[in-house]
Chain A
Amino acid sequence: MKVLVVDDFATMRKIVKNVLKQINIENVVEAENGKHALNVLNSEEIDLIISDWMMPEMTGIEFLKVCKEDDEKKKIPFIMVTAEGQKGSVMEAIKSGVDNYIVKPFTPDKLKDAIDRARTRAGK
């Protein structure tokens, strides 16, 4: 299983990577923003996307919308990470077709749980 972790903050990417390692997912590709992530998606086969919301150049929600409008990319389970905790932003992500979301800060258990549910929902 190959996971794409998108976050402009390197430490955050590292944390997510380490949590994934704990659940035996070691095949991780990193991207700094939505634009960068789209390039990765075009060149590599990805099984799960975990993306931050607030990023320069292309935000998480913009990236999500592009993915969900693409016949191929929309099949990949998408988990949105948000620090807002506001229902409004979560609702926007839900309407755009996100498969699950997780609110920062989170414990490894929460992330694991979110991954499981997103994969079930996306049928993977």
Chain B
Amino acid sequence: MKEKIKKDGKFLEALKSIRHQIDTFERSATYRKLAELVLVESEERYRTLFEAANDAILLIQDDQIIECNAKSLEIFGCNKPQLIKEYPERFLPEYQSDGQLSKLTSEEKIKSALEGVPQFFEWKYRRYDGMLFDAEVSLNCVELSGKRFLQAIVRDITKRKLAEEELKRERQKLQTLLEQAPFGMILVDVKGNYKYMNPRVRELFGYNLNDTPNGRMWLKKAYPEPSYRRTVVAAWKDEIRKINRKKKVPRVFNVTSKDGTEKIVNFRVVQLEKNGGYLVTCEDITDLKRLEDELLNAQKLESVGILAGGIAHDFNNILAVVLGNISLARSHLNNEGIVSDRLLEAEKACLRAKDLTQQLLTFSRGGESVKEPIDLKDIIREAVNSVITNSQFECNFSFADQLFPVLANEREIRQVFSSILYNARESMPLGGAVSISVENVTENPKDELPFLERDYVRVSIKDTGSGIPQSQLQRIFEPYFSTKPLGTQKGMGLGLAICYSIVKKHHGFIEVESNVDSGTKVNVYLPAARNDRDMSTGPTGI
């Protein structure tokens, strides 16, 4: 035990000696130099960090800038003496973008930061030369050597702001495009949910995102008829399958709008990005289709006319011989007896054949008929008297006062009204009522009618007959289309086609409204003969 203490005593001695040596070393110049070196190195490291920072770093004490880094000088556009000792307000515009006084807000933020609540905000600064710039600012309270300073880190975000504004403008442009586009646009996600509909879609169909939040609801509402809906679904599936093909083929469907009207719509679909959904565009081509149909109809009528014109001459010559001989044969029989009766029937058939060629000739482009200002009242009354002969029919007239005369060929116009009245009679086998009203029209009653800048006289003929199904309504002006049994004496399918052709030649138009069981209304618009040129009588024949 004693041995150990002895040894420990020596150990302590040794320790003391080492301590002494250390003290001596610490007091030596070498040590001081080394320590200074370490301090300088560390300070330099921080200084480099401070100076090389990509943001302006400012130290503020008692509302004065006391230190700043190189970036600060670049951002605020000045040299160090211009910045140091300067009040930070020197670099603020009077007002910020939100309309607040810079000074007021700035004081609040500084106060909060000094109370230990770091501040982070976007701010507008004024460079030394007065130019404004946007910045992101961070305010912190720092303690150095027991003193409290305000550290401000300012990042110039002018470029970012510009880019953001550009993006905003682009977005707005896109928005305007979407809102003002003349065709409908629907954004659909991959699950079939409708994400956006532009106003045109609502305008076209009346549906909004609440009515049709997804494809399923759209299909149900836009195509209420199940079998047609199945066709549409199949077409869409096919379209999605072939979505990546280069050449886009528009799909045309008949869409039922919210108000029940049907529109012919041209659809196109593009995939936005992989799994990013689809953009569906829709364009209302109802009017275009109607015009196309009308053109097609006119062409059909014209071809019938050309054919008729080609054969009319020879056909009439042959008929002349047939009819002449029949008439002579009858005169030999003194127009008496069974044989004469049979011949009379044959004679009548010849005259019908003659009428037919005459009617077909009205389709041909040539042979402009002679038109004169005529009063429709008498013509209509005459037509009614010749067609509505049965007491089963009630006929009501309503003629407006001071009706304009119309510029028309009397014979042709009489044929128009006779045909319409004939159809009305046929649609009421058990009798009914025909209401005819005639009035002047000086304004376009419906925008869709191709009105010229002139006055018209409208003749409305309404019956209480069986009406025409909607599906057939579009075809009634086609030659050889008839709702009556074909090939019979009742229906040649030419009556309304001829009416259409005649009215068209008179620069008028004809429209038909009809509902099954509630009857049909035909409106004929004929140009009024109102100016001096119209009123002068043309060649009147013999």
Q: Mark B211-238, 1 if CB is under 8 A from A, else 0.
A: 0000000000000000000000000000
- Residues of B within 8 Å of A12, CB to CB, are 317, 320-321, 324
> Is the pair B367, A106 in contact by a Cβ cutoff of 8 Å?
no
Q: Mark A94-107, 1 if CB is under 8 A from B, else 0.
A: 10001111011111
Interface assignment of B358: CB less than 8 Å from any CB of chain A: yes
Give the segment of B57-65, B346-354, B451-459, B486-494 that binds chain A.
B346-354
Instruction: Report A2-37 residues with CB < 8 Å from chain B CB.
Output: 9, 11-12, 15-16, 18-19, 22
Size band of the A side of the interface? 20 to 34
Interface assignment of A117: CB less than 8 Å from any CB of chain B: yes
> Is the pair B361, A85 in contact by a Cβ cutoff of 8 Å?
yes
> Is the pair A105, B328 in contact by a Cβ cutoff of 8 Å?
no
> Is the pair A94, B312 in contact by a Cβ cutoff of 8 Å?
no
- Residues of A within 8 Å of B324, CB to CB, are 11-12, 15-16, 18-19, 105-106
> Is the pair A85, B357 in contact by a Cβ cutoff of 8 Å?
yes
| Nearest A residue to B322, CB-CB | A105
Interface assignment of B464: CB less than 8 Å from any CB of chain A: no
- Residues of A within 8 Å of B322, CB to CB, are 105
> Is the pair B542, A107 in contact by a Cβ cutoff of 8 Å?
no
> Is the pair A83, B316 in contact by a Cβ cutoff of 8 Å?
yes
> Is the pair A121, B542 in contact by a Cβ cutoff of 8 Å?
yes
CB A24 to nearest CB in B, in angstroms, measures: 13
> Is the pair B542, A117 in contact by a Cβ cutoff of 8 Å?
yes
How many Å lie between the Cα of A14 and that of B313 in the bound state?
A: 20
> Is the pair A86, B319 in contact by a Cβ cutoff of 8 Å?
no
> Is the pair A84, B331 in contact by a Cβ cutoff of 8 Å?
no
| Nearest B residue to A84, CB-CB | B313
CB A55 to nearest CB in B, in angstroms, measures: 12
Interface assignment of B309: CB less than 8 Å from any CB of chain A: yes
- Residues of B within 8 Å of A98, CB to CB, are 542
> Is the pair A99, B542 in contact by a Cβ cutoff of 8 Å?
yes
* Given A85-B358, A87-B369: A108 touches B331 (CB 8 Å cut-off): yes
> Is the pair A94, B542 in contact by a Cβ cutoff of 8 Å?
yes
- Residues of B within 8 Å of A16, CB to CB, are 324
Interface assignment of B541: CB less than 8 Å from any CB of chain A: yes
Interface assignment of A91: CB less than 8 Å from any CB of chain B: yes
Interface assignment of A123: CB less than 8 Å from any CB of chain B: no
How many Å lie between the Cα of A103 and that of B361 in the bound state?
A: 14
How many Å lie between the Cα of A1 and that of B512 in the bound state?
A: 56
Interface assignment of A46: CB less than 8 Å from any CB of chain B: no
Tally of contact residues, B, Cβ under 8 A = 32
CB A30 to nearest CB in B, in angstroms, measures: 15
Q: Mark A106-118, 1 if CB is under 8 A from B, else 0.
A: 1110000000010
CB B509 to nearest CB in A, in angstroms, measures: 22
- Residues of A within 8 Å of B445, CB to CB, are none
> Is the pair B327, A86 in contact by a Cβ cutoff of 8 Å?
no
> Is the pair B320, A105 in contact by a Cβ cutoff of 8 Å?
yes
| Nearest B residue to A88, CB-CB | B367
- Residues of A within 8 Å of B320, CB to CB, are 12, 15, 83, 104-106
* Given A85-B361, A87-B369: A105 touches B323 (CB 8 Å cut-off): yes
> Is the pair B361, A86 in contact by a Cβ cutoff of 8 Å?
yes
Interface assignment of B447: CB less than 8 Å from any CB of chain A: no
Interface assignment of B539: CB less than 8 Å from any CB of chain A: yes
Q: Which of B316, B347, B541 contacts A107 (CB 8 A)?
A: B347
CB B506 to nearest CB in A, in angstroms, measures: 14
CB B542 to nearest CB in A, in angstroms, measures: 5
Residue of B309, B320, B323 with highest tally of chain A CB at under 10 A:
B320
- Residues of A within 8 Å of B327, CB to CB, are 15, 19, 107-108
Q: Which of B316, B328, B350, B361 contacts A18 (CB 8 A)?
A: B328
Interface assignment of B325: CB less than 8 Å from any CB of chain A: yes
Instruction: Report B262-315 residues with CB < 8 Å from chain A CB.
Output: 309, 312-315
| Nearest A residue to B321, CB-CB | A11
* Given A94-B539, A106-B323, A107-B347: A86 touches B331 (CB 8 Å cut-off): no
> Is the pair A87, B368 in contact by a Cβ cutoff of 8 Å?
yes
How many Å lie between the Cα of A87 and that of B358 in the bound state?
A: 11
Interface assignment of A58: CB less than 8 Å from any CB of chain B: no
Residue of A90, A105, A108 with highest tally of chain B CB at under 10 A:
A105
Interface assignment of A54: CB less than 8 Å from any CB of chain B: yes
How many Å lie between the Cα of A41 and that of B320 in the bound state?
A: 26
> Is the pair A54, B313 in contact by a Cβ cutoff of 8 Å?
yes
Residue of A104, A108, A121 with highest tally of chain B CB at under 10 A:
A104
> Is the pair A105, B366 in contact by a Cβ cutoff of 8 Å?
no
CB A96 to nearest CB in B, in angstroms, measures: 12
CB B466 to nearest CB in A, in angstroms, measures: 35
- Residues of B within 8 Å of A99, CB to CB, are 542
Q: Mark B11-52, 1 if CB is under 8 A from A, else 0.
A: 000000000000000000000000000000000000000000
How many Å lie between the Cα of A12 and that of B315 in the bound state?
A: 14
| Nearest B residue to A118, CB-CB | B542
- Residues of A within 8 Å of B323, CB to CB, are 105-107
> Is the pair A104, B325 in contact by a Cβ cutoff of 8 Å?
no
How many Å lie between the Cα of A91 and that of B541 in the bound state?
A: 8
How many Å lie between the Cα of A107 and that of B319 in the bound state?
A: 11
How many Å lie between the Cα of A105 and that of B349 in the bound state?
A: 12
> Is the pair B366, A86 in contact by a Cβ cutoff of 8 Å?
yes
Interface assignment of B370: CB less than 8 Å from any CB of chain A: yes
How many Å lie between the Cα of A106 and that of B350 in the bound state?
A: 10
> Is the pair A101, B542 in contact by a Cβ cutoff of 8 Å?
yes
Q: List 20 A-B contacts (CB under 8 A).
A: A9-B321, A18-B324, A18-B328, A18-B331, A19-B324, A19-B328, A84-B316, A85-B316, A86-B312, A86-B361, A86-B366, A94-B539, A94-B542, A103-B316, A104-B319, A105-B321, A105-B324, A106-B320, A107-B327, A108-B327
Q: A86-B361, A117-B542 are in contact. List 20 more A-B contacts (CB 8 A).
A: A9-B321, A11-B325, A12-B317, A19-B324, A83-B313, A83-B314, A83-B317, A83-B320, A84-B312, A86-B309, A86-B367, A87-B367, A88-B367, A91-B539, A99-B542, A103-B316, A105-B323, A105-B351, A107-B327, A121-B542
> Closest 4 CB pairs between A and B?
A15-B324, A83-B316, A104-B320, A105-B320
